[in-house]
Amino acid sequence: MSGPAKRGLAGPGTLSGATPPQDEAAMLPAEPLADLAAQHGLRPSALRPSLPAYCRQLWQRRHFILAFATARNVAMYTEARLGQLWQVLTPLLNAAVYFLIFGVLLGTSRGIPNFVAFLVTGIFIFSFTQRSFLVASRVINDHMSLIRALRFPRACLPLGYVVLELQQLLLSMVVLFAIVLISGEPVTLYWLLLIPALILQALFNVGAGMIIARLGAGVADFSQLLPFLLRTWMYVSGVIFSINTLSALKDHAKLQAVLHANPAAVYIDLVRYAVLRSQRLSMPGAKPYNQSHCAFYNLHRSVEPYWSAYCHAAPLSGPSVLWLLGAGWAVAALVIGFVFFWRAEARYGRG
Amino acid sequence: MAEPMVIVDDLHIVYRVFGAGGDKGTAAAALLRMMRRQRRPSIREVHAIRGISFVAYRGDAVGVIGRNGSGKSTLLRAIAGLLPPDAGAVYTTGEASLLGVNAALMDDLTGDRNVVLGCLAMGMTRQEARERYQEVVDFSGVGEFIDLPMRAYSTGMASRLRFAIASARSHDVLLIDEALATGDAEFRRKSHRRIGELRTQAGTVFLVAHNLNEIEETCNRVIWLEKGRIVMDGEDVPAIIDAYVQASGGERRERTPVSS
């Protein structure tokens, strides 16, 4: 490539920085560069695509999102000796710990029929949202090298991780079915409601996860804080107690309504309603109001746990209201989260 | 006149670096700072690119040379659209892909999964990814290690695989940042040929390398950066490289004959 003739031109001593062979200006065209760019249809490189174009790109990458989730799922436990068995063991151990503390030691089980199934359902459903949020808060920083190496819509990453968490959830659902059946609940057509409930929750996780992914990418303090926020959220979402029948909430209808309307409680209640007959039967308002039965329940919770059904329904606790809330949260989170994440698309590589 | 592919117009890039020191780094110091409502003293601004303009055309292979910290990698990241300009603008045709030495893809996944995921992430369909798979693996020369996690790879193997993945698709603008530095002689020859192919597939290639011979073998144009400014920019590659070597106080290079 570099022939002897060319090399002769650059003989020693004939060149220095002060007398360049072709200076910078000589390489530039005469017209303003912005005009030249416009004329040839060049676009600013740091410009994010339009929202419809972004959606199209994302749809085009659907195979990537699925393959990414599967690959991550497989890689997650490759170092552990028990391997993929941990996918089932982790939720089981989680449930065992919470049962020990809240069921046996603290006795929050009082007045809740089939507490084990109630608790395990709550934990599995809540941890789907919890884990989705935790990975979302780190997803941009953890995949910085991938982001800097290849160009793809960054929303693939939080999306891929929610798909991954959904795959894990489906495995824990198998565990859940086993626990529910062993604890004496029947299989009914209500179980089919599990499918729309999980779909709504997954959509909510995707949307809210995108908000968290952008916050986590921008402010490093956020991912430090998030675990504490999530733990607080878990304790107010009726995972380990029932918002319907907790005696401390009896005279605070507004607070009860707020707790019921929060998305985690909504999705947990929807799944419990689908899978647990004991919950459907014991829900306050499930039977016509009976003052003496209700009073008896409030005095002797463990004796007749199903008599909570004779009390007044708690605000925002009916199934139809819950379905509306669940759909509303999912749509709102998805729309807001997606737009919020997309608006920072060009900045995720900065680090 | 040739069609411009990349236009850099009076570009300025400023990094805001956190944790640059100047703070004792204890919790008490952080609290005191917040009570006094001071800005974080540890934020320092580094003006990495100070007004660069050039136009690169279809089929160009542009080498970028300069000392450490002269702004080479920053320039590439700006062209790739990963760093928004503080002033000025970068215009490109289509998409610019950056292939950096630190682009580890996914360390905990096996090589073959990295190949498939990389191809899919670049927008290939499953079918295309399957078709390209063997070609990428063969080109990388990783051989039997392909089913090991990438963290088990040597630096050279990892960078070969990364280059093989990134070059599996034709790019409008390909930016290569020291990615070939760790390859052995045979791989350098192969990648040299591949870069040539990418150029003819209607692309523009930018190459940052400390190995000046590599620039000279590969590039038809070279840009010499110093402290975020262009010192020289031209198509007489050997002359500029010689000037650069002289300015940095080095000996004149022994040029190895190239088989291209």
Counting every residue written for chain B, the total comes to 260
Provide, for chain B, the percentages of residues in helix, strand and coil under a 3-state DSSP scheme, each rounded to the nearest 5. 35, 25, 35
Question: What are the distances in angstroms from CA A94 to CA A87, A171, A188, A329, B76?
Answer: 12, 14, 27, 27, 47
**Cβ pair B91:A42 closer than 8 A:** yes
Cβ atoms of A113 and A282 within 8 Å: the answer is yes
For B82, the closest of A17, A44, A148 (CB atoms) is: A148
**3-class SS at B54?**
strand
Residue of A nearest to B4 (CA): A40
Which residues 6+ apart lie within 8 Å of B192 measured at CB? B214, B217, B218, B260
C-alpha to C-alpha distance for A249 and A254, rounded to whole angstroms? 9
Q: How far is B108 from chain A (nearest CA, A)?
A: 7
C-alpha to C-alpha distance for A299 and A320, rounded to whole angstroms? 30
The answer for A 130-189 residues in CB contact with B (under 8 A) is 143, 145-152, 156
C-alpha to C-alpha distance for A29 and A18, rounded to whole angstroms? 22
Residue of B nearest to A16 (CA): B243
Q: In 3D, which of B94, B87, B9, B2 has the Cα closest to residue B54?
A: B9
**Cβ pair A21:B123 closer than 8 A:** no
Instruction: Name which of A16, A22, A42 to mutate to probe chain B: the one with the most chain B Cβ atoms within 10 A of its Cβ.
Output: A42
Tokens of A2: 């570099």
Question: What are the distances in angstroms from CA B183 to CA A124, B141, B179, B190?
Answer: 48, 10, 8, 10
pLDDT band at residue A268, thresholds of 50, 70 and 90?
very high
Tokens of B78: 């700006």
Count of Cβ atoms closer than 10 Å to residue A263 Cβ: 22
Which one of A62-71, A296-305, B165-174 scores highest in mean pLDDT?
A: A62-71
Q: What is the mean pLDDT of each run of 10 residues along chain B (260 residues)?
A: 84 75 68 72 78 89 89 87 83 78 68 88 87 89 87 83 82 77 75 78 81 84 91 89 85 51
pLDDT digits (tens, 9 = 90+) for B156-187: 888 888 888 888 877 788 888 775 666 677 88
Summary mean pLDDT of chain A: 83
Q: In 3D, which of A232, A172, A229, A165 has the Cα closest to residue A201?
A: A165
Strands B173-177 and B204-208: parallel
C-alpha to C-alpha distance for B52 and B75, rounded to whole angstroms? 9
**Cβ pair A152:B123 closer than 8 A:** yes
How many Cβ contacts (< 8 angstroms) between chains A and B? 205
**3-class SS at B15?**
strand
Which residues 6+ apart lie within 8 Å of A243 measured at CB? A249, A256, A259, A260, A265, A269, A314, A317
What is the widest separation between alpha-carbon atoms in chain B? 66
First CA to last CA across chain A, in angstroms? 39
Residue of A nearest to B98 (CA): A149
Q: How far is B9 from chain A (nearest CA, A)?
A: 6
Instruction: Name which of A6, A45, A47 to mutate to probe chain B: the one with the most chain B Cβ atoms within 10 A of its Cβ.
Output: A45
Tell me the torsion sign for CA atoms B55, B58, B182, B155: positive
What is the pLDDT at residue A17? 41
C-alpha to C-alpha distance for B243 and B245, rounded to whole angstroms? 5
Determine the number of helices (DSSP H) and then strands (DSSP E) in chain A: 16, 1
**Cβ pair B123:A61 closer than 8 A:** yes
Q: In 3D, which of A79, B182, B107 has the Cα closest to residue B117?
A: B107
ipTM: 0.73
Which residues 6+ apart lie within 8 Å of A276 measured at CB? A114, A117, A118, A121, A180, A185
The answer for A 34-73 residues in CB contact with B (under 8 A) is 34, 36-37, 40-47, 57, 60-61, 63-64, 67-68, 71-72
E strands along chain A, which residues?
A: 43-44
pLDDT band at residue A18, thresholds of 50, 70 and 90?
very low
pTM over 0.90: no
C-alpha to C-alpha distance for B134 and B140, rounded to whole angstroms? 10
What is the pLDDT at residue B180? 61
Is the per-residue pLDDT at A87 higher than 90? no
pLDDT digits (tens, 9 = 90+) for B87-98: 888 998 877 777
Q: What is the DSSP letter of A255?
A: H
Cβ atoms of A351 and A141 within 8 Å: the answer is yes
Question: What's the mean pLDDT in A87-91?
Answer: 79
**3-class SS at A296?**
helix
**Cβ pair A21:B234 closer than 8 A:** yes
The answer for A 105-134 residues in CB contact with B (under 8 A) is none
For B3, the closest of A6, A28, A40 (CB atoms) is: A40
Tokens of A226: 């998030």
For B120, the closest of A33, A64, A78 (CB atoms) is: A64
For B80, the closest of A33, A37, A45 (CB atoms) is: A45
pLDDT digits (tens, 9 = 90+) for A118-159: 988 999 999 999 999 999 999 998 888 778 767 788 999 999
Which residues 6+ apart lie within 8 Å of A322 measured at CB? A260, A266, A269, A270, A273, A316
Q: How far is B155 from chain A (nearest CA, A)?
A: 15
C-alpha to C-alpha distance for A87 and A85, rounded to whole angstroms? 5
- pLDDT: which is higher, B7 or A38: B7
What is the widest separation between alpha-carbon atoms in chain A? 108
Q: In 3D, which of A266, A59, A231 has the Cα closest to residue A159?
A: A59
pLDDT band at residue A163, thresholds of 50, 70 and 90?
very high
Tokens of B180: 């070939």
Torsion, CA A213, CA A218, CA A220, CA A222, rounded to 10: -50
For a pLDDT cut of 70, what percent of chain A falls above it? Answer: 90
Q: How far is B90 from chain A (nearest CA, A)?
A: 5
| Residue B214, CA atoms < 13 Å, CB-side half-sphere | 26
C-alpha to C-alpha distance for A140 and A351, rounded to whole angstroms? 9
Alpha helices in B26-125 (DSSP H): 27-35, 72-79, 111-121
Q: Chain A contacts of B95, Cβ < 8 Å?
A: 151
What is the pLDDT at residue A262? 93
**Cβ pair B109:A75 closer than 8 A:** yes
- The secondary structure of A43-59 as a DSSP string is EETTPPPPHHHHHHHHH
